[in-house]
Amino acid sequence: MTRHTALTVLGIETSCDETAASVVRLGEDGRATVLSSIVASQIAEHAPFGGVVPEIAARAHVEVVDAVIRQAMTEAGVDFPGLSGVAATAGPGLVGGVMVGLSAGKAIALSRSIPLIAVNHLEGHAVSARLDADVPYPFLLLLVSGGHCQLLAVEGVGACTRLGSTIDDAAGEAFDKIAKTLGLPYPGGPALEKLAQGGDEARFPLPRALLGRDDCDFSFSGLKTAAARLAETLQHDAEKRDLAASVQAAISRQLTERTARAMRIYAAQHAAPLRFVVAGGVAANAAVRAALQKETEAQHFSFHAPALKYCTDNAAMIALAGAERLAKGLTSGLDAIARPRWPLDEAAAIANPVNSFGRKGAKA
């Protein structure tokens, strides 16, 4: 449909360990205004276990989702009759948590007679840089987080082509698991980044994956195992600091190398201006950002990343993805299902799966 007026959309995100709600207004010019963004973290609940426990996460979402939605609406100064639609994450993620947010979205859509937009969580990350900056389509995207690591050519709303993906672990998972073996608190990624400050990144040589391949896929399992074994042998804080710096450098290097390959492929298929977006929780890592920005300049791309508050899971990105879909008339029925896995490029996932049969692989 053709949009003549602004759209105001409530977004709900419950795919992992944050219960989030946000109200975003999409203007006639296609620019977004975040009216509210509320995130209730579950770090305290999961910290004793060193990672996210799905059953605890789902229960925590149930307990607070109504209050978080109410707070987002109040802060935005919007009541339900003022909404154009409600967008909720429908996957991928921990399915128990996804069901909580999606059910809340369905209830609001049904009771208020407004459209429901079931949003792919990864599409939310894809548009997150557009929340507070003018980043037109198309662009090359590196989506890198605790559960996802992939390179995509994003041509427009819902139009993504996969260029590369992890064949085992995601970069954020590697950060978290190595941090745990170093005895760092949960969440491990930010703790490892802090520990790495002042460390010697050349102290520990770590394996480099898939060097014999010329594709854009990632692999972090070998790095994770090697670093974990080293961590078990270290006695002094200085050694741990050097290992943290070495891990951070190794992950940054692999992300940059694969991104450079994808940039060359993308540039051969697209006219200038060439845009690069990095999104997801790992995009908040300063060393990763710096390495990618340097490569971006060398490849003559413009560099874009969300504000730090929009790198990790949030509902503003879900609201914006929903609003952009609603503007095109793309809505969902109340029979929309919660999906633990949901690739952005489904055709590529079916034709060329990156994980072998019998393995669940990455969430994407």
Above 80 in pLDDT, residue 52?
A: yes
Supply 86's token pair.
């409600």
What sign does the CA torsion over 34, 276, 98, 112 have? positive
* Lateral strand order in the sheet of 159-165: 159-165, 149-156, 139-144, 275-279, 302-304
Does the pTM of the predicted model rise above 0.85?
Answer: yes
For residue 38, the SS3 value is strand
pLDDT for residue 354: 66
CB 124 within 8 A of CB 317: yes
pLDDT for residue 361: 46
Q: How far is CA 163 from CA 119, 122, 217, 323, 339, in A?
A: 22, 15, 8, 26, 23
Structure confidence at residue 359 as a pLDDT band (50, 70, 90)? very low
CB 99 within 8 A of CB 69: no
Q: What is the pLDDT of residues 137-172, one digit of tens each?
A: 999 999 999 888 999 999 999 999 999 999 999 999
pLDDT for residue 351: 74
Range 325-359 burial, b when 16+ CB lie within 10 A, else e: bbbeeebbeeebebbeebbbbeebbeeeebeeeee
Domain architecture of the chain: domains with CATH: 7-132+312-351 (3.30.420.40), 139-305 (3.30.420.40)
How far apart are the C-alpha atoms of 257 and 70, rounded to whole Å? 44
How far apart are the C-alpha atoms of 21 and 88, rounded to whole Å? 9
How far apart are the C-alpha atoms of 158 and 342, rounded to whole Å? 13
Range 21-32 burial, b when 16+ CB lie within 10 A, else e: bbbbbbeeeeeb
What average pLDDT does range 225-253 have in this prediction? 95
How far does Cα 134 stand from its chain's mean position? Answer: 19
Supply 344's token pair.
């952005």
Please write down the HEC assignment for all residues of 234-254: CCCHHHHHHHHHHHHHHHHHH
What average pLDDT does range 67-82 have in this prediction? 98
Residues in the chain: 364
Tally of CB atoms within 10 A around 41: 15
Lowest-confidence pick of 45-54, 82-91, 93-102, 309-318: 45-54
CB 58 within 8 A of CB 94: yes
- Rg of the chain's alpha carbons, rounded to an integer? 20
Q: What is the pLDDT of residues 96-138, one digit of tens each?
A: 999 999 999 999 999 999 999 999 999 999 999 999 999 999 9
